[in-house]
Amino acid sequence: MLFNGGVFRAEALAERLRNTLGDWRGSALRVLHNDHPDVAVARGAVAYALVRQGHGRRIGGGSARSYFLVLEDPGPQRRGICLLPRGSEEGHEIPLPERVFSLRLGQPVRFHLASSVADTPCLPGEISSLDDDDCIRLPPIAAVVQALPGSSQREVRVQLTTAMTEVGTLEIHCVAVDDAARRWLLEFQLRGEDASPADSSAALPPRFADAVQSIERIFGASSPPSTTRR
């Protein structure tokens, strides 16, 4: 256990939490030493900013999945355009210069994504077959992409630029072909995509339900009803 935050300078709180979690686990926890728990987050933010500027070593494995824009083909086989290959690092824009799309403005549009953990290499913009065994269909995003102020244009030809952010979203910029300054942003939430409530209980610890009850009793939003004596 590593305590983080100035509140854990209070030894009574730290000891109580360590004992409580140890009881739930069934054995004592080893507490890691932290000289300054109140500034740990700030130090981490500074270290991350320095690494982003090339100072220090960065540890990362990139995106664990490849992401595809699903095509609405009439054929029996589902296909998609690779937006973000597996292993792509966070914060790096990936252009798809060989693909041009027509983006509808001022009317509802729906975008469908799929992800894959397959080891098959793919390049940004490449059209790939989406095998049902390797791919997961993600919830679609529906949006109304507005035209720029003063413009009556209802459709614009665009190219895509994608990036995976540090907070777990996939950003897709639709960049106008005739004017790169005209950009429309779409964001897809990637974290939690594989959550499956129906199967999540299979891997839970034996005393998980007891832990949930204890947490709800102590930190629940509503206090237990009190009895008023007259």
Q: pTM value? A: 0.59
Write a three-state SS string for 164-219: ECCCCEEEEEEEECCCCCCEEEEEEECCCCCCCCCCHHHHCCCCHHHHHHHHHHHH
CA distance 25 to 169: 34
Confidence class of residue 182 from pLDDT cuts 50, 70 and 90? confident
Say if residue 225's pLDDT is above 50.
Answer: no
Say if residue 120's pLDDT is above 60.
Answer: yes
44-53, 58-67, 181-190: the lowest-pLDDT one:
58-67
Render pLDDT for 59-83 as a digit per residue (tens, 0 to 9). Answer: 767 788 889 988 876 667 788 899 9
Residue 177, pLDDT score: 92
> pLDDT over 90 for what percent of the chain?
13
Average of per-residue pLDDT values in the chain: 81
Say if residue 47's pLDDT is above 80.
Answer: yes
CA distance 202 to 95: 41
Residue 203, pLDDT score: 54
Beta strand 79-84 with 169-176 is unpaired
CA distance 112 to 117: 17
Q: Can you tell me whether residue 160 is helix, strand or coil?
A: strand
Say if residue 186's pLDDT is above 80.
Answer: yes
Say if residue 34's pLDDT is above 60.
Answer: yes
All CATH 2.60.34 domain ranges of the chain, comma separated, are: 66-189
Who wins on pLDDT, 90 or 221?
90
Question: Would you tell me which CATH number, out of the four given (2.60.34, 3.30.70, 3.40.190, 2.60.40), belongs to the domain 66-189?
Answer: 2.60.34
How many degrees, rounded to 5, is the angle at CA 122 between CA 118 and CA 123?
155
Q: Can you tell me whether residue 141 is helix, strand or coil?
A: strand
Confidence class of residue 226 from pLDDT cuts 50, 70 and 90? very low
Who wins on pLDDT, 52 or 122?
122
> pLDDT over 70 for what percent of the chain?
86
